[in-house]
Amino acid sequence: MQAAFLEKLRGIVGAPHLLTGVELSPYVVEGRTPEAAVFPGTVEEVRSVVALAAESEVPVIPWGGGTAAALGTPPPRVGLVLGLSRLDKILEHEPGDLTVTVQAGRTVAALQSALGRQWLSLDPPDPARATIGGVIAANASGPRRQLYGTARDLLIGVTVVTADGTLVRGGGKVVKNVAGYDLPKLFVGSCGTLGVIVEVTVKLRPRPDDERLVALPFDRLKDAGAAVRAVMGSDLIPNAIELLDAEALRALGLLGAPAALVVGFDGLAEQVSWQIRELGRLVGGDGAPEPRAVSADVWGRLAASAAQAFAAPAAVMRLCVLPTQVADVMAQATSVARARGLACAWHAHAGVGVMTGALASGDARPDTGAVGDVLREWRALARGGAGSAAIESAPLAVKDAAGVWDDAGAAGRIMQRIKRELDPKNILNPGRFVAGI
Amino acid sequence: MTTLAADRKRAVRTELEAMLGRGAVLSDPDELLTYESDGLTLFRALADFVVFPQNVEQVSQVVKLANREGLPFVARGAGTGLSGGCLPAEGGLVISLMRMNKVLEVDYDNQLAVVEPGLVNLHLSWKVGPQGYYYAPDPSSQQACTIGGNIANNSGGPHTLKYGVTTNHVLGLEVVMPDGEIVWLGGKTRESQGYDLVGVFVGSEGTFGIATKIVVRILKKPQAVKTVLAVFDEVDQASAAVSEIIARGLVPAAVEMIDQLTIGAVEDAFGCGYPRDAAAALLVEMDGLQIGMDEQAQRIEAACRESGARDVRTAKDEAERQLLWKGRKSAFGAYGRVSPAYMVMDGVIPRTKLPFVLKRVNEIVGTHGLRVGNVFHAGDGNLHPNILYDPRKPGEEARVVAAGAEIMKVCADVGGSISGEHGIGLEKADFMPFIFSPADLAFMAQLKHAFNPDGRCNPGKVFPTRKSCGEAGAVAYKPHAIEEQGLAQRF
């Protein structure tokens, strides 16, 4: 990166907000150190930085809390990390409208704590680090998606800086809006490849009077799967239906069982109590003991429980299948790993069919070939369940061996066309996304 | 006006008939008249052909033929749209999907259904109802409108306050792209790889391609439903009650407001039990678990009373509940009792701005010497002012259009939107600059270009094309052919 370019960046954001050299270690992507990191303090500064990078054809990597930095194909060039952490203000919160407009760099935890008796019904892992812009860009979610959906269901307005530094707004500030194309949807899960999210408006909900989490142990995954089906077909309205295997349960310090369902309920206290009793009856029959209560601090650790089952997982993969397939896929995937001499741990948002599997070997250096083979077989299992699978994190060699993203099919060509239209110079997080984007 | 020479038109018709079968192609001007407008009869245009394909391959072949001939084309469902979104360009093809109306698959365990685009919205709920399921998006036209049309417009309805709009219920789409290629976007699972093309396609008003299969979520019917009617002597009190309900941490399934003029019309037509002397009534519905329902109803009632409601009552049985909803859902039809015609507007505002905006709407309409009835989704701030007028009186329609533009401007100025569920279509294309900058619109145009590079798929919609707002006022109303025969009314 040329000195003149750095000088111009410094001119835009001020010297304290431009990092170079050894200061860049927290921003390493896939083992590669970026050429610089810049932290604009205003939306105007973001525009100037992106326009300058576009003019100089330097790739820009938008960066929130860095919690999803391991996601994606290794980039060909790690140019300029564009940190949004200084854009962290709440711009407008009108409780009567149940909406909040916030700058993208505010952490989810800092946002939630400013909302009083309301909350954003999105519970991604690591909320103290994850920024709201990053969560939307990576489409991160948590257990409560069972009832409240994901970023696509909550984001109603988005402001982005496009690949040439233009400011573009999509959606709006009202909860119902069909004027123009649904740009908020375009940016959910786009991993920074179409624009730098600088401001978002999201829908809020009132905090429920009560919320509780309970666990039900099972001797076999199959029975746990049948219980998921029974719960989904019942009158119960759980806000989370999580299926964990023995390893994930161990990571959470929960019960010692081959499998367990962890189910959440919210609402009025009497509604929560009634549903917990009903859950016990539904799964265990009349006279069954009430499901045991789980401490509230487990909520935030559920989604990462599989990955945290091992000190150094050899790979973490996310599979999306039909809800009825979850328990079967989990059982088969475990057999596949064991057949290769590898251990694995599983967690699933079972009611929506989103599963995370972590692989590990007893050896200090896992066999890349075996890990890659298992991941490929896991992906085949996901496809058999009408779904797809992508690597969440893995060493470079494993990513190379198994491929990070699943095949997007013919839709991938439309995605490529969108990318070419909106980022013709290919400077926004290039080479890391689906279909080679 | 037609874009094809007579001999070429004959040749194309022969080819279309060979492709789709005789009886699946209309080109007689009398037959085409039915397809010259949607529910908004202010705009009309004649196609060269209306075709009725029966499967995705036929849709693809028709689209490829249109491309080869350089003809514009537009997909059409039931034609209940209210923004002129499915109007043909002058000439070209209307591709009616009404013969593709099957439920292809229902998977109760995974709570999804695969349907064809011509399926009537309500028919899906009928189909899955016996198993205890329903399809949540419920536009007021749900007895006639199609799921494919709902996809194009991202349709809403009264119950979107709690359950979201169409896009929140769609998992996957089989689409015929504007070049004729058949592509799947999304699928049956909750997540798929890459950009959310399903989310981008839904609400694109037919400009990104034609959906030929749709995977939707179906929901378990709630265990219990409770409907409360609150009656107010002042509109402001009703508006305040909406905010008060939200402030108390309640998320009803629906909160609908009906004003005095509309109550009068509804009572004349159906006698649903709304008090005629009330300035406004709120219809509040809660659903969910049986347990706790009474407590929630009490909280709603308290919020209404403390906001000044003179009367609050809960529907005592399903029959009374249905009657209250009939009044709400039939309100548009009931305006026929008090006015020869009306134009329904669709704007969204932040809920907290309701008192101010309702006052402004009444002032604006009054200034133009017209009357307005309001019946709308108060819970999510989605207004439907219905401006009453007489199309036979010269100049009255132009005043309606001018008043409508001013109302849209007010919605935009308070931070709202110019459409909550009816779409932009032709009607509001020129209002887009009220809420979007030239850069915003240019970005959307680039996105459109990625899907529809030649612009043949539903041209002339969504983006501003005409010179200025209000000019459409020059268009004179004339009744639709089937209106003249007394077979249909505007709604």
Task: Tell me the CATH number at B15.
Answer: 3.30.43.10
Range A427-431 average pLDDT = 97
Please report where in the chains the tokens 């279909």 appear, as a residue.
A435
Which 8-state DSSP code applies to residue A307?
A: G
E-only strand ranges, A86-239: 90-94, 99-103, 118-119, 155-161, 167-171, 196-203, 205-206, 210-218
A209 in contact with chain B, both atoms CB, cutoff 8 A: yes
Q: What is the pLDDT of residue B466?
A: 56
CATH fold of A307-402: Alpha-Beta Plaits (3.30.70)
- State the Cα–Cα distance between residues A228 and A230, nearest whole angstrom: 5
Residues B162 and B203 in one domain: yes
Grouping H, G, I as helix, E, B as strand and the rest as coil, residue B417 is: strand
- State the Cα–Cα distance between residues B217 and B266, nearest whole angstrom: 33
Q: Which of B271, B300, B331 is the last residue of a domain?
A: B331
In the sheet that holds A99-103, the strands lie side by side as A90-94, A99-103, A196-203, A155-161, A167-171
Give Cβ neighbours of residue A320 (< 8 Å, ≥ 6 apart): A353, A354, A355, A382, A387, A388, A389, B189, B190, B191, B192
Q: What is the pLDDT of residue B474?
A: 38
Minimal CA–CA distance to B255: which of B327, B361, B159? B159
Where does A90-206 sit in CATH, by number?
Answer: 3.30.465.10
Q: Is residue B481 part of a domain?
A: no
Give Cβ neighbours of residue A239 (< 8 Å, ≥ 6 apart): A143, A144, A146, A147, A148, A211, A264, A265, A266
Q: What is the pLDDT of residue B3?
A: 63
Contact B440 A180 (CB under 8 A): yes
Residues B409 and B286 in one domain: no
Q: What is the pLDDT of residue A67?
A: 95
Q: What percent of chain A has pLDDT over 90?
A: 93
Residues B129 and B76 in one domain: no
Q: Do domains A3-83 and A307-402 have the same CATH topology?
A: no
Q: What is the pLDDT of residue A111?
A: 98
Q: CA of A410, closest CA in chain B: separation in Å?
A: 6
Residues B468 and B343 in one domain: yes
> In the structure, what pLDDT confidence band is assigned to residue B475 with cuts at 50, 70 and 90?
very low
Q: CA of A433, closest CA in chain B: separation in Å?
A: 7
Residues B268 and B245 in one domain: yes
Q: Over the stretch A309-330, which tens digit does the pLDDT of each residue have?
A: 999 999 999 999 999 999 999 9
Q: Which residues is A266 bridged to in the sheet?
A: A211
Q: Over the stretch A89-114, which tens digit does the pLDDT of each residue have?
A: 999 999 989 999 999 999 999 999 99
CB of A111 closer than 8 Å to CB of A138:
no
Give Cβ neighbours of residue A181 (< 8 Å, ≥ 6 apart): A170, B200, B203, B204, B444, B447, B448, B462
The one-letter amino acid code at A392 reads E
Q: Which of B99, B121, B152 is the last residue of a domain?
A: B99
- State the Cα–Cα distance between residues B344 and B400, nearest whole angstrom: 10
The 10 Å Cβ neighbour count of residue B7 is 8
The one-letter amino acid code at B103 reads V
ipTM of the complex: 0.97
Q: Over the stretch B125-155, which tens digit does the pLDDT of each residue have?
A: 999 999 999 999 999 899 999 999 999 999 9
- State the Cα–Cα distance between residues B348 and A378, nearest whole angstrom: 46
Q: CA of B319, closest CA in chain A: separation in Å?
A: 23
Q: What is the pLDDT of residue B27?
A: 94
Residues B265 and B366 in one domain: no
Q: Is residue B135 part of a domain?
A: yes
* Residue B467 pLDDT exceeds 90: no
Q: What percent of chain B has pLDDT over 90?
A: 85
CB of A315 closer than 8 Å to CB of A375:
yes
Minimal CA–CA distance to B158: which of B286, B53, B249? B286
Q: Over the stretch B263-319, which tens digit does the pLDDT of each residue have?
A: 999 999 888 889 999 999 999 999 999 999 999 999 999 999 999 999 999 999 999
Range A177-200 average pLDDT = 98
- State the Cα–Cα distance between residues B48 and B36, nearest whole angstrom: 11
Range B37-44 average pLDDT = 87
Q: Is residue B152 part of a domain?
A: yes
The one-letter amino acid code at B287 reads D
* Residue B487 pLDDT exceeds 70: no
Minimal CA–CA distance to B75: which of B160, B7, B169, B148? B148
Residues B167 and B134 in one domain: yes
CB of B64 closer than 8 Å to CB of B178:
no
Q: What is the pLDDT of residue B484?
A: 52
Range A142-150 average pLDDT = 98
Contact B444 A181 (CB under 8 A): yes
Q: Characterize the bridge pairing of strands A259-267 and A205-206.
A: unpaired
Residues B73 and B151 in one domain: no
Range B42-59 average pLDDT = 95
Contact B381 A434 (CB under 8 A): no
The 10 Å Cβ neighbour count of residue A230 is 13
Contact A182 B381 (CB under 8 A): no
Residues B373 and B465 in one domain: yes
Grouping H, G, I as helix, E, B as strand and the rest as coil, residue B231 is: strand
The 10 Å Cβ neighbour count of residue B377 is 24
- pTM to 2 decimals? 0.96
Range of the domain at B168: 103-220
Q: Over the stretch B198-244, which tens digit does the pLDDT of each residue have?
A: 999 999 999 999 999 999 999 999 999 999 999 999 999 999 999 89
Q: Is residue B362 part of a domain?
A: yes
Residues B241 and B140 in one domain: no
Q: Over the stretch B375-420, which tens digit does the pLDDT of each residue have?
A: 999 999 999 999 999 999 999 999 999 999 999 999 999 999 999 9
- State the Cα–Cα distance between residues A322 and A317, nearest whole angstrom: 16
A198: alpha, beta or left? (left if phi > 0; alpha if psi -120 to 50): alpha
Grouping H, G, I as helix, E, B as strand and the rest as coil, residue B371 is: strand
CB of A38 closer than 8 Å to CB of A63:
no
> In the structure, what pLDDT confidence band is assigned to residue B481 with cuts at 50, 70 and 90?
low
* Residue B449 pLDDT exceeds 80: yes
CA distances to B43, B135, B228 from B218, in Å: 35, 5, 26
Range A232-251 average pLDDT = 97
- State the Cα–Cα distance between residues A167 and A199, nearest whole angstrom: 11
Q: Characterize the bridge pairing of strands B224-232 and B280-288.
A: antiparallel
Chain B residue with CA closest to A415: the answer is B195
* Residue A74 pLDDT exceeds 80: yes
CB of A235 closer than 8 Å to CB of A279:
no
Minimal CA–CA distance to B396: which of B437, B349, B341? B341
- Residue ranges of the domains in chain A? 3-83, 90-206, 211-240+260-295, 307-402
B447 in contact with chain A, both atoms CB, cutoff 8 A: yes
Q: Is residue B490 part of a domain?
A: no
Grouping H, G, I as helix, E, B as strand and the rest as coil, residue A387 is: coil
Q: Is residue B252 part of a domain?
A: yes
> In the structure, what pLDDT confidence band is assigned to residue A286 with cuts at 50, 70 and 90?
confident
Residues B422 and B453 in one domain: yes
- State the Cα–Cα distance between residues B193 and B208, nearest whole angstrom: 19
Name residues 312-351 of chain B within 8 A of A (Cβ).
348-351
Q: CA of B138, closest CA in chain A: separation in Å?
A: 14
Name residues 27-86 of chain A within 8 A of B (Cβ).
none
CATH fold of A3-83: 3.30.43
Residues B354 and B446 in one domain: yes
Q: What is the pLDDT of residue B465?
A: 81
B433 in contact with chain A, both atoms CB, cutoff 8 A: no
* Residue B470 pLDDT exceeds 50: no
* Residue B491 pLDDT exceeds 70: no
Phi, psi for B487 (deg, rounded to 5): -90, -15
Count of structural domains within chain B? 4
Out of A5-9, A283-287, B17-21, B410-414, least confident range: A283-287
Over chain B, what is the mean pLDDT? 92
Q: Is residue B56 part of a domain?
A: yes
> In the structure, what pLDDT confidence band is assigned to residue B247 with cuts at 50, 70 and 90?
confident
* The two structure tokens encoding residue B454: 């030649």
* Residue B260 pLDDT exceeds 60: yes
Range A248-259 average pLDDT = 91
Q: Which residues is A86 bridged to in the sheet?
A: none
Q: What is the pLDDT of residue B479?
A: 53
- State the Cα–Cα distance between residues B457 and B464, nearest whole angstrom: 17
A91 in contact with chain B, both atoms CB, cutoff 8 A: no
The 10 Å Cβ neighbour count of residue A268 is 18
